[in-house]
Structure 1
Amino acid sequence: MYKNIFNLLISFFLSIPILGFAQLSVEEHLGMENLDNPKIFESSILFAKKTKDVWNGKSFSSIIISDLNGENQIKLTENEYDYDPKWSKDGKWISFISYRNNLQQIYTIPKLGGEPKLVSDAQNYISNYRWLNEKTIAYVDDEPRDSTLVATEAINGGGYQVGTEFYTNALWTYNIDSGTKKKITDGSFRIIDLDVSEDGKNLAVLAAKNYDTYESITNNWVEVIKIQSGNPIYKFNDANSLSNPKFSPSGKLLAFVGSTEGFASNDGLFIANIESGETENKTYEFDPTIEKIQWIDDKNISFSTPKNGYTGLYNLSIKGKISTIINPYWVIYDFQIINKQIYFIASRSSKIKQLYKLNLGDKPESAFRLTNLNSELHSKIKTTSSIINYVSNDGIEVQGIVTYPIAYDKSKTYALMVIPHGGPDSVVMDDFNWMGQFFADNGYVVFQPNFRGSIGYGRDFYAGNRNAFGHTDFEDIMAGIDELIELKIADKNRLVIGGWSYGGYMANWAITQTDRFKVSISVAGVSNLVSLYGQHEFSNRKVGLWEYKALPIDNVENYRKASPIFLVKNVKTPLLILHGANDTRSPSLQAWEMYRAMKDANKDVEMIIYPRAGHNISNPIQFKSVLNKWLNWADNHIEKK
């Protein structure tokens, strides 16, 4: 996102203050209703609604149908796990995936309601499906990884060969009248996503090798298969992290998304002529981070991308011209355009996620809300947030989200909670941001910077911290803090840093570089990038060359120079480490290494390990503990008022 730098040393603006999320308990946050998968057919809209009773370990999901104004909503199903609703080709039936009787299968139900009917014959676990015609469904039948290991254990008498274990799956078609099924692929590769042409003759699959966890991102491909013969007629793998294969209405073109820089830039919207094989990236100059795509007709395709804290929605003609459909105002998670109207799921910091509709050409803020989820929580929304733009030490423009406490007083300065995001292939948006609002509700100004390495600001910005972890990104964070101090928002003597995953790494790293923070909290963070290469589930040669520009066996210094563990003697800040025992993304060994090093250096450190917890520490009781210990550690080391 390298723009012209203003003559002023710092450029900063606060958007019109908007209400944010506050006074919601952890229980209320975890139990919030959610919705996804909006699907429109003629005069009806279909979506899935999810509700959780987290403290009793239960969840419920429903398939809902309503008219296009959101009225006359009818709950078609309610089960522990119903999702991914789709219309049959003739619109008479609604299909969905449901977990029942220890199997994940496809069920159908009449449009007007009735008893769900099982219409698939999967042996294991259906992960994806499409209607081919009124009577036939194509689906992917997964075999859980554990069963593969169990089978290997039985055959080999113990253990499995690393590099050969994998998830297997296969593509099948199933006739719902006759019950006949046909296997289309042989399971020699893993199908991640699929789409079907309008005439039901071709399938587009996103596929990858089976054996490596990260192969599905770093080395996948798009392939078009003739359903009748099972033969491939098109294949593309000349970009990283391919996703979202979508046939044009005629079935002659195929669109998909890929990264030309790294593995998460998602800057390429590729259009392929299936017959000729000609494939072209149509968005390279626009340099977006593409999230969702949808064909409007054979000559136009729409896509969404993060833009300055919100989501922009754009139209791409197949000739390459890009125009705006919706200016950035909402944070949009999913959308569908039909009959000159846009139906989308979105939120803002003041507005909980809902389903909206908007006439093409209307201002985004005039969107009509179709759902009213979590209505009992709306009155608890009381804090404010804004977007800050500033310039880092080397002249690069950076952006972040600032959330203010309830009854924020501009005449006062506040304790600042700095929360770097995870990834770093991620971005903080001005949406319904529960973590920022949780700490703001407890008296902090919260700063969530989109430092170099974040997505949504172009390829160069995304690549800006590669082989510079803890350097350019750290400088961007500190420049934002200085700006908030200069603006008399933050108190320079009451600075806290805490983060999760890459944010946890940054919390570890920051206190080796400066003593300005009074306290630090690292959740699921890493500390030793040398050892991480051999521990991380995503590590491989391709990733190492991208992230560090070298492999450890060739240039270990590139890993060592960004590892907090080797600099703990510099630390003067108390550190709290919180980590899941079963974390495979940031293995708990990383927490132990940092803890041991801090102890050996006689530094102030405490560590909590959560049994059975993974990277997200998703058990609600453990998750609540993480937030409370984070908050208490900060509160005990500073005065907020």
Structure 2
Amino acid sequence: MSKGLKKLKIHSLILLAGLFACNILAVAQDNTYQKPPSQIEELVNAPITPIVSFSNRGDFMLMMVRSGHGSIEDLAQEELRIAGIRINPATNGPSRSGSIEKIKIKSLQSGEVIDIHGLPENPKLGSMTLSEDEQYLAFTHTSDAGISLWLADIRTGQARRLTEDILNQVYGTSLEWLPDNRILIKAVNPERGSKPEAPKAPKGPNIQETMGDAAPSRTYQDLLTNPYEEEQFAYFMDSQLMIVSLDGSHDIIGEPGMIKSVDISPDGKFLLVEKIKKPFSYLVPASRFPYDVEILDIEGKKIKTFAEIPLDEVRPTGFDATVTGPRSINWRADKPATLYWAEAQDGGDPKKEVEERDIIYYLNAPFNGDKQKLGSTSLRYSGVNWSDDSFAILNERWFASRQEKRTVINPSRPGEKGNIIVERSYDDIYNDPGSPVFKKNQYGKSVVIRKGNQIFMTSEGGSPEGSMPYLASFDVKSKTENILWRSQAPYYERVAKVLSDDASEFITLKESTDEQPNYWRVNTRKRIAPIQITEFEHPYESIKNINKELVTYTRKDGLNLSATIYTPEGFDPASDEPLPVVMWAYPREYKSTETAAQVRGSKYEFTRLNWGSPLYWVTQGYAIMDRTEMPIVGEGEEEPNDQFVEQLVANAEAAIDYIVERGIGDRNRIAVGGHSYGAFMTANLLSHSDLFAAGIARSGAYNRTLTPFGFQYEQRTYWEAPEVYNIMSPFMNAHKVKTPILLIHGEADNNSGTFPIQSDRYYNALKGHGATARLVFLPHESHGYAALESILHTLHEQHEWLEKYVKNRQ
């Protein structure tokens, strides 16, 4: 070989090595967190509006300033994922939760604002609870080492710590006020010992066995898998009830255990305590583990074991199925100490035909008599709204038919037939009388406001023009309503709190398309002008003047549809070129075309952003078609999903035709996207149509055989309707996808059914068939994304995808 050839070969090798190194560098850079355009990043970092809570009397309000997005370092902390829950082992609390960093108290009479002072450094506050006399505010603070109890004096604004880092918030709430201004807490058991150590080697195989009892179950995440995880679950659940006085002293109450929940009787004399016990399950989460329901007196003495609830592994199929035995055990809000609960009369099986589906029982203190029948339901029991011993509202629902029923009963005449005041489809928003208005009674519990036969209701006020919320009185005898107040255009306003027993004075939350929601005090009796009580500023100045429309259009079969369209400030479809479009949607199933066709939402709602919103791209020259209705209808014996694909494509065709014919959108530059079931929708649209230029699918499920015992609102199992599961699975139709699709998924997704493997396997199927696809896994993120780095990177990925395959589509 000549010297020249050798030299050329050496130079070539050096060049290849350099190119290889550059390629490695490019990949490394591509795998670092990126940011979207500055206009989008600024919107993500906009100020967060405080959370507001009003005192019972309406004389003051709490304004709680929320922390911004956390960092990826926060999410990367040690986390236990066991028994369907996620635990931070360092704090004995949840591993993922938002927090409050500042609290303000505002007088509604004087307008004076007091900052609560004396808070801990780097406050991460939660569980805000006012005492019954509303003189004190109890709350928690989470440090790196645990969770402590704090107290603030409402009159002075001074805060102080009441306990060390002893609270146990692994499962459920951990504090509740007693009527005498002491606080019941759920603490870490001081005697629980050291944390279990992981075995160096397993003691044997992990074995499960079934003995012939059918146990269909949804695909839960983070379940127990071995004996060591059982030990960890028992360790972190180990709790001790304590009563803490305002001076910080505390008394131990009752025996420790794996306390699931605790509830104080209205008179403050008894405790209803649920304690989880073994055997644990590897098939269902902790919420369905066996537990005992115990009644204790306030000193901690056990009165009785009220119920022993068995392991809930074996349950009939169907969303109307439930457990046998007592369930939904609660204290009556209008009595000092009376328990009530429901028991299924159909074995929990919705397929059985019975006259009484559920019976509601009650038992008075001292709980040594026999249970008494309060009433029964023909549908599935769904709660009681209490007023007093002569008036209560019994609620029941049936998912399969989307029916609800509300019956007024007289609790002093148990077993007496009640008066049905509402019987309707709960999907029907045009004829929704609303929900009862509540007040606090002498026990500090919420009861229905009532004047004789009149109760008060707040409704969303659905109509063909969109929602116009209202407050009404409802006569339970004549079953007629009288609207007392209603939101007026061009505002979207709804009642936040009723202050008077005749509902003449109340607080509303008022907003418009370009006005930030703020609270107002309204008095209809005195006929004085409403008084604004908050002045939250518009957080999104850069999009304040964008165009917004709530539009309606028709599917080819005549079904009315609706969507909200946003376009950039100054855009005029009559003179400007059509825009690239981002269509965002989430399918929903209905049992009638009438309810499916109803307009949802309001054209006067404030344009609020969240991390997952598509509205950011209005700053980049796109038209946004948001809340694009994608109804899937199945009437009578037909299930909605029997024609899922056909109806989904028809919905998309109608939306595209509308926005194109209006001159707003360019038919060749339309993207479709969605999150969770919206991602599933996106993948199906790309499999069964060529309507779109690109798709964005976040945190979806794509193979329905991996959720064989039902999904979303599909009650049938895979074995009952295999063709439905196969046709609806994008994985089974991956070979049909010719449109570029971006898949994004949290690596720690804990949502039932949307395991990260869903995106992994779907991407491989797409790749195997030559599709254009990109898969992005976000470290430590769950079903919704929390870390600022993840959110900005998600927006970056979506932006680059839209720019390449939609706006600049060749």
Q: Sort the TM-score into its range (normalised by shorter chain).
A: 0.7 to 0.9
Match for residue 560 of structure 2? Answer: 397
Highest relative contact order (Cα 8 Å, sep 6+), 1 or 2? Answer: 1
C-alpha change, 1:200 and 1:528, in structure 2 (3 Å) is: same
Please, which of 113, 129, 137 is the counterpart of residue 157 of structure 2? 113
SS of 1:395 mapped into structure 2? coil
Q: Percent identity?
A: 14
Q: What is the TM-score of this pair, normalised by structure 1?
A: 0.76
Query: 1:228-278 CA distances to partner (integer Å, 9 max, x unpaired)?
Result: 9987344377566957x7643x47756687643269x79566766555377
Q: Residue 665 of structure 2 aligns with which residue?
A: 490
Structure 1 position 432, deviation (Å): 2.8
- 2:498, 2:537 → 1: CA distance? 26
1:12 aligns with none
Cα deviation code 1:185-227 (max 9, x no counterpart): 9868657xx7964x55788999999974596897595333389
Q: Give the direction of change, closer, same or farther, for the CA distance of 1:633–1:161 in structure 2 (3 Å limit).
A: closer
Partner of 2:90: none
Show the counterpart of 1:537: none
Of 456, 476, 480 in structure 1, the residue corresponding to residue 651 of structure 2 is 476
* Alignment pair present for 1:438 and 2:603: no
**Residues 205 and 335 from structure 1, CA distance in 2 versus in 1: closer, same or farther, beyond 3 angstroms?**
farther
2:438 aligned residue:
295
Partner Cα separation in structure 2 for residue 273 and residue 448 of structure 1: 46
Post-superposition shift, 1:318?
Answer: 4.9
Structure 2 partner of 1:522? 697
1:577-604 C-alpha deviation (Å, 9 max, x unpaired): 1111111322221111221111111111
Alignment of 1:220-299 (within 5 A): 221-225=327-331, 232-235=339-342, 238=358, 242=382, 247-248=386-387, 250=388, 259-261=397-399, 276=414, 282-285=421-424, 287=426, 294-295=437-438, 297-299=449-451
Using the TM superposition, give the Cα deviation of residue 301 of structure 1 relative to its aligned residue in structure 2, in angstroms.
4.4
Give per-residue Cα distances to partners, 1:317-349, cap 9 Å, x unaligned: 555544445545666798211033322446544
Instruction: Please say which of residues 65-74 and 578-587 is displaced more in the overlay.
Output: 65-74
Q: Give the structure 1 partner of residue 518 of structure 2.
A: 354
1:17 is aligned to: none
1-structure distance, mates of 2:805, 2:567: 20
Contact kept? 2:547, 2:567, Cα under 8 Å: yes
Using the alignment, how far apart are the partners of 2:272 and 2:631 within structure 1? 32
Determine the C-alpha separation between the residues in 1 that align with 2:176 and 2:678.
38
Q: Corresponding residue for 2:147?
A: 103
> Which protein is bigger by CA-based radius of gyration?
2
Distance 1:318 1:67 in 2: 37
| Structure 1 residue matching 2:116: 3-state secondary structure | strand
Give the partner amino acid of 2:757: L
Deviation at residue 357 of structure 1 after TM alignment: 3.0
**Corresponding letter in the other structure for 2:136:** W
Are residues 322 and 385 of structure 1, via their aligned partners in 2, closer, same or farther at CA, if it must alter by over 3 Å? same
Q: How many Å apart are 1:438 and its aligned residue?
A: 0.9
Contact 1:203 1:224 (8 Å CA) reproduced: no
Of residues 200-209 and 288-297 in structure 1, the stretch that sits farther from structure 2 once superposed is: 200-209
Q: Report the more deviating stretch, 24-33 or 585-594.
A: 24-33
8 Å CA contact retained: 2:168, 2:239: no
Residue 75 of structure 1 corresponds to 115
Alignment-mate amino acid for residue 93 of structure 1: Y
Q: Is contact 2:395–2:405 with CA below 8 Å preserved after alignment?
A: yes
Q: How many residues end up aligned between the 2 structures? A: 595
Residues 468-507 of structure 1, C-alpha deviations (whole Å, 9 max, x = no match): 4444344323322222222222222221111111111111
Q: Do the aligned residues in 1 keep the contact of 2:136 with 2:154 (CA within 8 Å)?
A: yes
Q: Secondary structure at the match of 1:112?
A: coil
- Quick one: structure 1 residues 368 and 451, their matched pair in 2 at CA, closer, same or farther if it must change by over 3 Å? same
Post-superposition shift, 1:559?
Answer: 0.9
- Rounded to whole Å, the distance in 2 between the matches of 1:343 and 1:202 is 35
Alpha-carbon contact 1:45-1:65 (below 8 Å) kept = yes
Kept in 1, the 8 Å contact 2:584–2:674? The answer is yes
**Equivalent residue of 2:423, what SS?**
coil
In the TM superposition, residue 560 of structure 1 has moved relative to its aligned partner by: 0.9
Matched, 1:343 2:495: no
SS at the partner of 1:113?
Answer: coil
Mark the CA change 1:195 to 1:40 in structure 2 (over 3 Å): closer, same or farther.
farther
Which residue of the partner structure matches residue 806 of structure 2? 638
What is residue 410 of structure 1 aligned with on the other side? 573
Give the CA deviation at 1:124.
Answer: 0.6
- DSSP-derived class of the 1:47 partner: strand
| Residue 575 (1) aligns with residue 741 (2) | yes
For residue 9 of structure 1, what is the aligned residue in structure 2? Answer: none
Match of 1:508 in 2: 683
Partner of residue 372 from structure 1, selected from 535, 538, 548: 535
2:66·2:100 contact (CA, 8 Å) conserved in 1? Answer: yes
> Which SS does the other structure have where 1:572 is aligned?
coil
Unaligned runs of 5+ in 2: 1-36, 75-98, 207-223, 289-318, 345-357, 359-378, 440-448, 591-595
Moved more, 623-632 or 49-58: 49-58
Alignment correspondent of 1:552: 718
Does 439-448 or 52-61 show the bigger shift? Answer: 52-61
- Alpha-carbon contact 1:65-1:74 (below 8 Å) kept: yes
Alpha-carbon deviation of 1:120?
10
> Structure 1 residues 241 and 519 mapped into 2: Cα distance closer, same or farther (>3 Å)?
farther
Q: Given the alignment, which residue of 578, 595, 617 partners 2:785?
A: 617
Partner-residue secondary structure (3-state), 2:807: coil
Q: Deviations over 1:397-435 (max 9, x none)?
A: 222211112211121322221001377899766443422
Q: TM-score, normalised by structure 2?
A: 0.62
> How large is the Cα RMSD of the aligned pairs?
4.9
The offset of 1:566, in angstroms, is 1.7
- CA shift, 1:170, in A, is 8.5
Distance in 1 (alpha carbons) for counterparts of 2:458 and 2:162 = 34
Q: Are the aligned partners of 2:404 and 2:424 in contact in 1 as well (CA < 8 Å)?
A: no
Q: C-alpha distance in 2, partners of 1:378/1:267?
A: 43
- SS for the counterpart of 2:586 is coil
Structure 2 CA distance for aligned equivalents of residues 610 and 305 of structure 1: 37
Check if 1:65 corresponds to 2:105.
yes
Moved more, 508-517 or 471-480: 471-480
- Comparing 158-167 with 416-425, which one deviates more in the overlay? 158-167
Contact 2:184-2:244 at 8 Å conserved across structures: no
- Deviation per residue, 1:130-149 (Å, 9 max, x gap): 54424244566799xxx99x
